[in-house]
Structure 1
């Protein structure tokens, strides 16, 4: 269903003929698998070993060597002919063995990568292979789930999805069940989840709308399958060399025959001499040297858990002179940490503190800092555990920072329980909670600085006094923090009432901003040194935008 994102939940359920509380029956699933096919991508049929072997002969150098073999036998040069045949067989044998092994390894990986999906069928929650999902299946999504098919969300509780497999962006995307406009592009379809993406937080119930090659990831796979094959740099050079060799041998043959004709030599001798010189000009050892060299590189890479499907790809890898890379999740850990806190009259650079900062919050006992800690803990849906943490990376970073300073996150949440929440929304760009605060209530808000400044009327100093809000100062401070490569988040609060939170989001008290750092991977520095030593120049794509 291409229009699932713009349909109401009722219309969607009616079209797919499914009860969200019961799911599909097993008989209906069988019927739909026959109708729509299995939930797998259509891929080109794997090459047989015969075809892989024959492909080794599709090389201009091999053509010339074959011609040389025929001519050698024609002139009864048996030793020369047999030697060339051995070279051809060695060359094709090595290439065939390496490529066949690589193909089998890839097939083995594909079989081991079978996904399981949790679905509601016949009123019971079951775990089934993703290949058996059909349109109309009711998916049950939870943190860590790899989504097995494109689906429309019909109910959700703070769900966010990492769509890097589809878009290349590592940032998680907040989802909802709201109906969208007709012209909403794929990457903005917030009520849809897509095959191959991962649930990073929250829970949801979704109805499968597309499977197999009809999914968005399936469309990408189709483009890959249809992509035109291009020759490798080595292939292009060998082809160019082959053409020059052919032209050279033809030129030498014509020249020798012409000179012999002028001098009145015997025709048979002239032809034999010309062909002998032409055969001598062919480098019979070139293919075997090139194949052995590439095979050595292939074996070396396989020991580092890199699968090379075709021998020529090894040389293509060696041709790299520039490498473009994204930062988040590639050069960095994709694990945010609080790096800088900017308050009205206090600037805290976290790198200046010890890595174990237990109890250090006594050094920052100002009321503005205390309010920042309160808001960062209360306006937060993440859960931090020693072995496993769930939630948004920024929210996890805030809780970890508070715990490192000696604050008890759970005690604070229990002391000031949440009454009402406005989840973070990509359009609104903020999250807000209403918390019971003793005999009164407190509104806690965090989000994009520009959004929060529009909701605030005053600021707060370290003594807890309300002061005039200098918007220009905070915008400049945000730019300064962002220029260090940090992500910026603003914080605000005010005393509230137990009423609709939407009507109270005005005249907030602005607290300050926080800069988050995504630390680099431990092996990045060494990797960059290796790239530079190999003559490879690195460019971060985001720095080019």
Structure 2
């Protein structure tokens, strides 16, 4: 159909800014800065600790270009509207309008032009509204950055950064380019949008001697990420399109334009109807000329015939239904950027979903504690400081973790969680204008520790003064904060990996008493850790140690992190969204194959998959990135088409490969995601679905559907709506074609009668348009609001290569349309008999002819309304389903009202060459409608009985 349902109906395109460097420089930028030491980095990128000079900045900017990743090219309003005319039916209607205008029938020509304008405007308006929602990557780099130039730090627009600049990064800032770190203090970045990692990544400055993936380059901060904790100084090693973000943008740009199943179906239908209309019109033109009709009248007749064969209102009907569905989905928090995406959702056969932020909340939550050998359960999810802490197996009671708890329990819990709070740098923030709920600033893991501390009543505003901090590193696997207590004592609060903590402990808190730790204690503690790890909980151990004032000036990690007192174990998880398991069951019941594609670790992803309900048939398979890259394409495709597969630790190219394999195999694949790393796969998918609340602008621009509430259940609901809308469109298409066949039968029979016996033509062009446009357009369009009429989400997805108009439906449409046509031509001839006029002998008066053609027009229209009603439900015209859509009946009433205006209002009936009918005439019209309904219902009951017997 026209371009609101055609292949080119996308939003503004994204063009990656081309690199402006020579091949040598490009090789450096794409290379291995993470493998160099600080002196090598400074030398290789022509940087200095004192910063670049202004002339050097100008030179590098000319050499490398601006630090801009993409440009959004907005299509002009005129071009966007003109694209709506690239449709076979629209072109043919314009041709008919031009011919009738040239032949002097300006009224018919004007009506055809108005019809074209209506069709094109509906799709254009919807695309325009949706197109205003997204502005993609352009804003990611539009922030101020602290840059050292000529030994002075200044704030400059990040777009002005060049390779070799020395920049300072602080907590909460966006990383503006790819930066090799040379100084770092407790520095970590949030990289889930780039790599899929759900936890902040701690960064260091030492060189990495071997080749590693982007997610493991822990001495580099990448464009598109944000600083979670600490501060750092680094050298810019890549800008703009040469960054990792730029590389992903290029992958996104390379995605081909896609054509939805509905676009293919409507294009197929439009082409074939156009071919049939033109061929038959030419044949009938020759026949009419041979029947001695003047060429002028013969040509008008052929044009009228072509107008009869073309379902003029079909483009408007389809796009109105899609627009209605898009509006309904928007109310359900699913924003559709392109009309055809509504129906594509309904054809979804495979879902490839991201994990972090899509299935999970991306909010670490403490769920279990081990203190003095006792296990506790923590209630409440997310960062809201609400919930209780109760011993495992106990009945939850109000205030269990608060002042009303047993004093011994509360003291031990408070000591444990106070250490976690004091060894954390995150801040817990209340809801504000920008955040609907409680949120954190800093590391999500530390945010979870601060939140659980608040649940036991620890005052988060009175933290003790920090004397020294030893940041976490991969060698020690510990983090220590030395605090000065109110009495002046220095206490080291240590958190870290359980195996690292327990081997440094010499004492243990045993039910409130400190005693030496034994090997049995260590083994039991690590057994608890292993058991919880098997459930994919993330575990941290806590310990403390007092430090003498005499040692305060010479303390170092080796001195402090020994002879510790083991306090306990904290277990946490990124909680799954509460609506996900139910939505997953619905998707699996609908025979949709679901896979998880994530950058996270396999055990974590597997645990989330099981919690989400993806293991309901014990078919869950985990494929790691290394396994994936060694697999041949056919094996990867087999995993994806089977569903129940978790692809873990994948990068953007891996995800795009999976999606492309599924799509090229002829299946409709929906891909969800929220990060920069998801954008290429979103663009390559049959339908890209981005998260609106937590998603990046990159993901939102690349997708065709944006879930405003980030809910997987909203996606499943959108798929259901897509299935329903396709079923409704199919009903509308078949109903529309039925009346066109009826008009075709009337025109052919009328031409034969005119050729053989000189009977006046039974229907004129304007009456045909009145049937298609004024009578049936609104009722068929109202079918778009029909609800589900059966167990639509208990059936498998439809074949995307199947056609609405197939052999079975063609036979049904021809049969039903021929029946209406014969009833109409019968009423046309019977009217002459009741008027006492023999149409085969002599020429009837103009008034009699007008009334006779009115009988044809009214019979077709009334039978068509009955036809639409009868097709609405598999249960037929007399089911309760008929009362499910009041809008449909209002549309039918409006169609009848328009019909009566055309028949009885004097000025209007002159334009349409109609005449008033009497009560007897209406009796014959209703009798024809009753005959049609009886035949159709009898056929339906017979088919139903045969199906039951079979």
Q: TM-score surpassing 0.5?
A: yes
Q: Is the 8 A contact 1:245 1:282 kept in 2?
A: yes
Paired with 1:412 and 1:190, the residues of 2 have a C-alpha distance of: 30
1:393 matches 2:444 = yes
Q: Do the aligned residues in 1 keep the contact of 2:419 with 2:544 (CA within 8 Å)?
A: yes
Deviation for aligned residue 1:42: 4.0
Shift in CA distance, 89/385, structure 1 to aligned 2, threshold 3 Å: closer
Q: State whether structure 2 residue 158 is matched by structure 1 residue 158.
A: no
Per the alignment, residue 61 of structure 1 pairs with 89
Which whole-Å CA distance do the structure 1 matches of 2:564 and 2:373 have between them?
19
Per the alignment, residue 46 of structure 2 pairs with 17
1:341 corresponding residue in structure 2: 369
Q: 1:223 aligns with which of 245, 251, 267?
A: 251
- Deviation for aligned residue 1:189: 1.0
Instruction: Choose from 523, 538, 546 the match for 1:487.
Output: 538
**CA displacement at 1:109 relative to structure 2:** 9.9
Written as runs of structure 1 = structure 2, the 5 A alignment for 1:397-416 is 397-407=448-458, 413-414=464-465
CA distance, structure 2, for counterparts of residue 70 and residue 204 of structure 1? 70
Structure 2 vs 1, CA of residues 532 and 139 (structure 1 numbering), >3 Å: closer, same or farther? same
2:569 equivalent to 1:513 = yes
* Alignment partners' CA distance in 1, 2:67 and 2:307: 56
Residue 446 of structure 1 corresponds to 495
In the TM superposition, residue 502 of structure 1 has moved relative to its aligned partner by 3.4
Q: What does residue 464 of structure 1 align with?
A: 514
Distance 2:339 2:87 in 1: 13
> SS at the partner of 1:56?
helix
Q: Does the CA contact (< 8 Å) of 2:482 and 2:490 recur in 1?
A: yes
After TM superposition, the structure 1 stretch with the greater mean CA deviation from structure 2, 265-274 or 131-140, is: 265-274
CA distance in 2, matches of 1:326, 1:227: 19
**Inter-partner Cα distance in structure 2 for 1:122 and 1:153:** 19
* Greater C-alpha radius of gyration: 2
Q: Secondary structure at the match of 2:85?
A: coil
Show the counterpart of 1:283. 311
C-alpha spacing 1:355/1:241, structure 2 compared with 1 (3 Å): farther
CA contact (8 A) 2:326 2:339 kept: yes
Q: 1:155 offset after TM fit, Å?
A: 0.7
Match in the other structure for 2:75: 47
* Equivalent residue runs for 1:67-78 within 5 Å: 67-69=95-97
Pairwise CA distance, 1:474: 4.3
Q: Deviations over 1:206-264 (max 9, x none)?
A: 21111111111111111212210011233122112224424654786799899x79xx9
Change (3 A) 1:385 1:290: closer
Give the drift of 1:402. 3.3
Q: Distance in 1 between matches of 2:575 and 2:531?
A: 19
Instruction: Identify which of 545, 554, 558 aligns with 1:502.
Output: 558
Is residue 25–residue 122 contact of structure 1 (8 Å, CA) maintained in 2? yes
Distance 1:104 1:336, change over 3 A: closer
Moved more, 189-198 or 8-17: 8-17
Report the Cα offset of residue 51 of structure 1: 2.6
Aligned to 2:855: none
Task: State the distance in 1 between where 2:128 and 2:168 align.
Answer: 40
Instruction: Tell me which residue corresponds to 1:424.
Output: 472
- Deviation for aligned residue 1:80: 4.1
Q: Structure 2 matches for 1:228-267, cutoff 5 A?
A: 228-246=256-274, 248-249=276-277
- Cα root mean square deviation, aligned: 4.6
1:333 and 1:220 map into 2 onto residues whose CA distance is 24
| CA deviation after TM superposition for structure 1 residue 392, in Å | 2.2
- 289-298 vs 277-286, which deviates more? 289-298
SS at match of 1:464: strand
Task: Say whether 1:364 aligns with 2:408.
Answer: yes
Equivalent in the alignment of 1:192? 220
Q: Report how far residue 8 of structure 1 moved.
A: 1.6
Change (3 A) 1:527 1:294: farther
Change (3 A) 1:110 1:473: same
Shift of 1:114: 3.0
Determine the C-alpha separation between the residues in 2 that align with 1:470 and 1:132.
Answer: 58
Note if 1:82 corresponds to 2:131. no
Larger CA deviation: 344-353 vs 233-242: 344-353
What do residues 455-504 of structure 1 show as CA deviations (whole Å, max 9, x unaligned)? 56875421323354356654554465467775322234567895653378
In 2, Cα distance between the equivalents of 1:149 and 1:420?
Answer: 28
- Select between 210-219 and 510-519 the one with higher mean Cα deviation: 510-519
For 1:179 and 1:194, how far apart are their aligned partners in 2?
16
SS at 2:69's partner residue?
A: coil
Q: State how far apart, in whole Å, the 1-side matches of 2:140 and 2:416 are.
A: 47
Please give the alpha-carbon distance, in whole angstroms, between the structure 2 residues aligned to 1:441 and 1:243: 83
- Distance in 1 separating the partners of 2:332 and 2:149: 43
Would you say the 8 A contact 2:540–2:570 is kept in 1? Answer: yes
- Map of 2:57 onto structure 1: 29
> Which structure has greater strand proportion?
1
Per-residue deviation, 1:158? 0.8
Q: 1:357 to 1:253 in 2, by over 3 A?
A: same
Deviation, 1:285, is 0.6
Provide the C-alpha distance between the structure 2 equivalents of 1:65 and 1:428, rounded to a whole number of angstroms. Answer: 76
Question: 1:469 touches 1:510 (CA, 8 Å); kept in 2?
Answer: no
In the TM superposition, residue 374 of structure 1 has moved relative to its aligned partner by: 5.6
Contact 1:360 1:406 (8 Å CA) reproduced? no
Alpha-carbon shift at residue 62 of structure 1 (Å): 2.6
Partner of 2:35: 6
Query: Aligned residue for 2:780?
Result: none
Number of equivalent positions: 535
The unaligned stretches of length 5 or more in structure 2 are: 1-28, 380-387, 390-397, 432-438, 597-604, 610-644, 647-950
Residues 188, 227 of structure 2: 8 Å contact kept: yes
Q: Distance in 1 between matches of 2:54 and 2:476?
A: 42
Structure 1 residues 119 and 308, CA gap change in structure 2 (3 angstroms): farther
How far apart are residue 76 of structure 1 and its match?
6.6
Give yes or no for contact 1:460–1:467 (8 Å, CA) kept in 2.
no
Return the alpha-carbon distance in structure 2 between the equivalents of residues 448 and 326 of structure 1.
Answer: 27
Residues 39, 132 of structure 1: 8 Å contact kept: yes
What is the aligned partner in structure 2 of residue 126 from structure 1? Answer: 154
Which piece of structure 1 moves more, 121-130 or 143-152?
121-130
Gaps of 5+ in 1: none
After the TM superposition, which of the residue ranges 43-52 and 134-143 deviates more from structure 2?
43-52
- The offset of 1:141, in angstroms, is 0.7
2:199 and 2:443 in contact (8 A); partners too:
no
Distance in 2 (CA, whole Å) between partners of 1:445 and 1:475 is 17
Distance 1:221 1:327, change over 3 A: closer
8 Å Cα contact 2:495-2:543 kept in structure 1: yes
